[in-house]
Amino acid sequence: MQAAPLLKDLVLVGGGHAHVHVLKSFGMTPMPGVRLTLIGRDIETPYSGMIPGFVAGHYSFDECHIDLARLAAWTGARLIQAEAIGLDRANRRVLLKDRPPVSYDLLSIDVGAAPSLDAIPGAAEHATPVKPIAELGRRWLAFVERMKDRRAPLRIVVIGGGAGGVELALAIDHRLRQIAREAAISVTLVTRGDILAGNATSAQKAMRRILAARGIRLLEKSSTTAIERGVVHLEGGERLEVDDVFVVTEASASPWFTGTGLALDGRGFFAVDDTLRTTGDENIFAVGDCATVLAHPRPKAGVFAVRQGPPLAKNLRRALLGQEPEPFTPQRRYLSIIGTGDGRALATRGAWSVEGAWVWRWKDHIDRKWMRMYREPPAKPMDMGARAAPPDPALADVEARRLLADIGMRCGGCGAKVGAGVLTRVLARLGPSPGSSVTIGLDAPDDAAMIEVPAGKALVQSVDFFRTFIDDPFVFGEVAAVHALGDVWAMGAKPHSALALAVVPAAAERLMEEDLFQMLSGARRILDHAGSALIGGHSGEGPEAALGFSVNGLVDPARALRKGGLKPGDRLVLTKPLGTGVIFAAAMRGRARGTWIAAALASMRQPSSAAADALVAAGAHACTDVTGFGLAGHLAEMIRATGRGDEVSVDLHLDALPALDGAVELFAQGFASSLQPENLRARHLIEGMAAHAGHPKLPLLFDPQTAGGLLAAVPAEMADRIDGVVIGEVQVRSEGRSFIHLA
């Protein structure tokens, strides 16, 4: 049975506390016909309540961050790692940094806020802001490494006397005294008003006492006038000499909010009504620190973002069904628990406060319980089958009714082609390929493209095609183009032109257009950079997205690289790390860390043009690209292609094999690509398998690669001129010796 087409795009911008709840809610109870997309700048989103504990050393980075790649995989959401920079509301598109916009039918924004650095001259250049929290986490880890075993005095200033500033000052003091025991630690907390303003008087008094007991200097009613390198200037002329400054002042809105044309509050945050919908656009919701509920203004605190998750999920569902969202009233009084960094905490609510070690244990229990909901996979798989059910009739606008009538009888043959109108609009949005030397191509469409081959050049051709393995169509387009061009680069040729073969799932016409545009936009980025014109192709419907290219390149026949040609004494050089197969095998099961996936995709999106040029310049004797057959399979091809295949062998150094982050760890956990067993058939060509059976990198030999690097044999004296890793040497093959010998 063919799955029902997609009808609506629900897009979440930002991985804030409310949005992670929406992800899980829609994962547990999907809305058939609705595609959920999360756009986030960071692949790991922090839980703000645990960050002071992380700074103090009580939590690891992983324990206080939610892996959005895993959460998206578990819940069936599409994840796009990109930074939002604006909205095109007229066309319902989210504008993104360094890539095309993403369209939406319904949008929710949860991108948080950051301290206002502009209010303090020099803060942007010489201070560390506490937000974005994800950036603070990375910078703090680096800072801790630099401070380990420090003996010189260490002076820290924290600016901001709210709960966040107080917690950070106490956490920094505790952590530094643990890692730099021989250094004289001095922490100063500066606030322009009273400490913990707006909290109970008893809480303020208790915190002053705690700070004094810990030796942290407190400067209340002291405004910071400027920050220079190594100096903080205060109102009244006092100068504080510092080694580092942390700013935890009043939050400010992102500058791009102003350009959206949406209603904002007096501080520049999105103005929303009590349903969490923006007051100027019924198709846009906003929550968390980036928004202000006009009827119920509350402090910018994580507790309110967490509580907004359930009503937001409910109202997004109602909006998708064409129903009016329901109002939500946040609590007026709320519990605030402020950790003191040393295993104790101060709790305050209304007029009362209490402190002690048990308060910290209480807070720790609450925080860990919340994190477990989003860091651990569900006890049973999400109801993925619901996505194939017919869409809710309540979604049936005119276009939906037409599509619903077509379910189960989508045409095949030429009837499965993407409509001409969709193609025309996509090609218009893409624009012509720059610098094309094609005689007839998309600039002047005809029944076929026509290429003139310059004198003295040979035409190199190859083709590759595969179904998608990631949810981001733009990135998929980039990877598919790099993968297809790999054969051209491996022969030392210059890419010239390409024909695309694209498949998109059946959906509402505007969604099919968007998917096709995103895929081809990603491909065009790679093709344009390589000097290859997109000259045509074919597009059609299918059960899932797929993309491939027939690529052309031009090469001087006398300088073309071949698989064969290995010479004894050559060094084998590999230009990219291995492990894409196992990483994405695990990713499909929601078991690969987001940072591993991001690093793998960065490698896969890296063109091999510079590496190919360097190999040609170094006089490489042979070259191939490492793809589906894995390193062992492609190396065996090179050995066979050299003469009769019995002239040379290769000493391969397992320890030298470069591996993507996470690949070796995932092999140890039992993950492997579905093609790995087929590739293992090459093991009979390898000597030393038994002796190295326990080597952690042995499975890398058989891991299929997508958009992998180049494997080349170069003269020994030229190997250090290649940006790659030497993994072995070519030897004269003695009688009885295997193709590949593990060293």
Tell me the CATH number at 221: 3.50.50.60
> Is 621's pLDDT higher than 50?
yes
* Mean of pLDDT values over 690-700: 96
| Residue 24: per-residue pLDDT | 94
Residue 712 has pLDDT above 50, yes or no: yes
Mean pLDDT value of segment 65-82: 94
Q: Is residue 304 part of a domain?
A: yes
- Pinpoint the alpha helices (H) of 242-394: 302-320, 357-375
Its sign, for the CA torsion 579, 581, 583, 584, is positive
The answer to the question of residue 493 being in a domain is yes
Point out the domain boundary residue: 332, 361, 393.
332
Asked if pLDDT for residue 448 goes beyond 80, the answer is no
Mean pLDDT of the chain: 90
Do 577 and 703 lie in a common domain? yes
Give me the percent of the chain exceeding a pLDDT of 90. Answer: 73
pLDDT of residue 381: 45
Which one-letter amino acid corresponds to residue 113? A
Strands 84-88 and 494-505: unpaired
Choose the final residue of a domain: 293, 310, 332. 332
pLDDT of residue 332: 74
**What pLDDT, in 10s, does the model give residues 118-149?**
889 999 899 988 877 777 888 888 889 888 87
Lowest mean pLDDT among 40-44, 181-185, 229-233, 332-336: 332-336
pTM score, whole prediction? 0.91
Instruction: Give the count of beta carbons closer than 10 Å to the beta carbon of residue 513.
Output: 22
**pLDDT value for 394:** 56
**Into how many domains does the chain fold?**
4
Q: Is the pLDDT of residue 561 over 60?
A: yes
Domain assignment of residue 399, yes or no: no
Question: Encoding tokens for residue 652?
Answer: 């391969």
Residue 406 above 60 pLDDT?
no
pLDDT at 379: 56
Asked if the structure places residue 384 within a domain, the reply is no
Residues 260 and 355 in one domain: no
Question: Both 615 and 647 in a single domain?
Answer: yes
Amino acid in the structure at residue 52: P
pLDDT band at 496 (very low <50, low <70, confident <90, very high): very high
Does the structure show a pLDDT above 50 at 604? yes
Alpha-carbon span 105 to 398, nearest angstrom: 15
- Domain co-membership, 340 together with 213: yes
The model's confidence at residue 643, banded by pLDDT at 50, 70 and 90, is: confident
Predicted local distance difference test score (pLDDT) of residue 737: 80
726: three-class secondary structure by DSSP: strand
Determine, yes or no, domain membership for 68.
no
Q: Does residue 430 lie in a domain region? A: yes
pLDDT of residue 386: 40
Mean pLDDT value of segment 606-623? 97
- 84-88/93-96 β-pairing: antiparallel
Domain with residue 472: its CATH number is: 3.30.1330.10
Domain residues for 606?
Answer: 562-742
Closest CA to 290 of 309, 311, 264: 264
Res 395: pLDDT: 55
Type of residue at 734: S
At what angle are helices 17-28 and 357-375 packed, to 10 degrees?
A: 50
- The pLDDT score that the predictor gives to residue 3 is 53
Which of 105-114, 161-170, 173-182, 423-432 shows the lowest mean pLDDT across its residues? 423-432
Same domain, 186 and 291: no
Predicted local confidence at residue 436, as pLDDT? 58
Q: Which residues are catalytic?
A: 414
Would you say residue 86 lies in a domain?
Answer: yes
Q: Give 702 or 329, the one with higher predicted confidence.
A: 702
Mean pLDDT of 357-371: 95
| pLDDT value of residue 167 | 95
The span from the CA of 514 to the CA of 478, in Å, is 16
Confidence of residue 1 (pLDDT cuts 50, 70, 90): very low
Buried b / exposed e along 261-270 (16+ C-beta atoms within 10 A) = ebebbeebbb
Whether residues 658 and 528 share a domain: the answer is no
pLDDT band at residue 384 under the 50/70/90 scheme = very low
Is the same domain home to 721 and 609?
A: yes
198: left (phi over 0), alpha (psi -120 to 50) or beta: left
SS3 186: strand
Residue 612 has pLDDT above 80, yes or no: yes
**Digit-coded pLDDT (tens) for 339-349:** 999 999 999 98
User: 451 versus 337: which is more confidently predicted?
Assistant: 337
pLDDT of residue 430: 86
Instruction: Give the pLDDT score at 499.
Output: 93
Q: In which band, very low, low, confident or very high, does the pLDDT at 150 lie, cut at 50, 70 and 90? A: confident
Domain shared by 459 and 473, yes or no: yes
Same domain, 548 and 577: no
Structure tokens at 10: 């629900």
Residues 6+ apart with CB under 8 A from 386: 29, 30, 32
DSSP three-state, residue 706: coil
Report the alpha-carbon distance of residue 6 to residue 12 in Å, rounded.
17
At residue 241, the pLDDT reads 95
> Average pLDDT, stretch 692-711?
97
Residues 359 and 491 in one domain: no
Least reliable range by pLDDT among 238-247, 390-399, 699-708: 390-399
Residues 510 and 593 in one domain: no
137 domain residue, yes or no = yes
Whether residues 363 and 458 share a domain: the answer is no
| Per-residue pLDDT at 407 | 45
- The reported pLDDT for the residue numbered 195 is 95
